Amino acid sequence: MAAGGPVTRLTEEATCPICLEYFNNPVTLPCGHNFCEACIARYWEELAIRATCPQCRQHFYRRSVKPNRQLANVVELVKELQEAKIVEGKAGLCDKHQEPLKLFCKDEEVPICTVCDKGKEHRSHLVIPIGEAAKEYQVKTMVGGGEIALLYSILFKKCLQPGGLEGTHRTSISCPQLTYAFLSLNKFLEEKDFSWQDYLEDLQREIKREEHKNFVILSEEISRLSRLITKIEDICPHPPSEYLEVRVHKCLPDLCPHWILAVKSHVFSLTAIEYTS
């Protein structure tokens, strides 16, 4: 038996050596080794020779197996243990194997454990250490967050400039233009599956003194940018596994350069704001 903690050993005892998944209708061969009933039947059918144990290579005169109900009960207990989250220190552990999430599958963009890495689901995928993956995505998020902050700053300062909304200068923005710009930006981002729902309304008081109804729209849109900045600042310092888990569940958009450039170009083309990258 391989060395490891209690959870690792328990998981190994409940895992079929052929499919590397939890036993499904486990059966025992005369040599004492256990397999899924379907796995051993398929193994023997593919060999087309006399019965042999895949683990110890012992030969048998006939294909004789016995259901192992006790092992089946153990497998069910392991599953219930995981579902109930009884294992201590469950945070940062694989839901399926209760092992630390030390790796990251770039093909499916999910954290995985070393047991997952050996399974057939991720066997041919590109897998890297979770720390390396977290650093890569955190850099993307920080760069993207800086671009969002700059966009927020430009829009907010523009709205507070004297005559910024009603002036006739080349860099001024009229109320109808601003309304159209933000409504169009909101539609553009919604098409990118961007969710605004979780951000705080923390800038509303800054523009309540303005009487024009279009300032309400401006306040909401600027507030959304501010919330995104706050979200990025809260998420980036988290441990690698927690950061990647948040990103995988899409609490943050993928702030890659292409995404930021698309949003930025869309905004500045609508508002005619001068911008130097």
Instruction: Please tell me the predicted confidence (pLDDT) of residue 23.
Output: 93
The C-alpha atoms of residue 148 and residue 267 are separated, in whole angstroms, by: 11
Instruction: Please tell me the predicted confidence (pLDDT) of residue 147.
Output: 57
Tell which residue, 169, 146, 144, has the closest CA to residue 158: 169
The boundaries of every CATH 3.30.40.10 domain in the chain are: 1-87
The C-alpha atoms of residue 233 and residue 95 are separated, in whole angstroms, by: 27
Instruction: Please tell me the predicted confidence (pLDDT) of residue 68.
Output: 93
CATH code for the part of the protein at 1-87:
3.30.40.10
Instruction: Please tell me the predicted confidence (pLDDT) of residue 12.
Output: 83
Instruction: Please tell me the predicted confidence (pLDDT) of residue 87.
Output: 46
* HEC-encoded secondary structure of the chain: CCCCCHHHHHHHHCECCCCCCECCCEEECCCCCEEEHHHHHHHHHHHCCCCECCCCCCECCCCCCEECHHHHHHHHHHHHHHHCCCCCCCCCECCCCCCECCEEECCCCEEECHHHHHCCCCCCCCEEEHHHHHHHHHHHHHHHHHHHHHHHHHHHHHHHCCCCCCCCCCCCCCHHHHHHHHHHHHHHHHHCCCCCCCCCCCCHHHHCCCCCCHHHHHHHHHHHHHHHHHHHHHHCCCCHHHHHHHHHCCCCCCCCHHHHHHHHHHHHHHHCCCCCC
Tell which residue, 247, 254, 250, has the closest CA to residue 134: 247
Q: What is the mean pLDDT of each run of 10 residues along the chain (277 residues)?
A: 63 88 92 92 80 86 87 87 56 77 84 86 84 71 56 60 46 54 59 44 47 55 65 58 54 51 55 45
In the chain, the largest separation of any two C-alpha atoms, in whole Å, equals 96
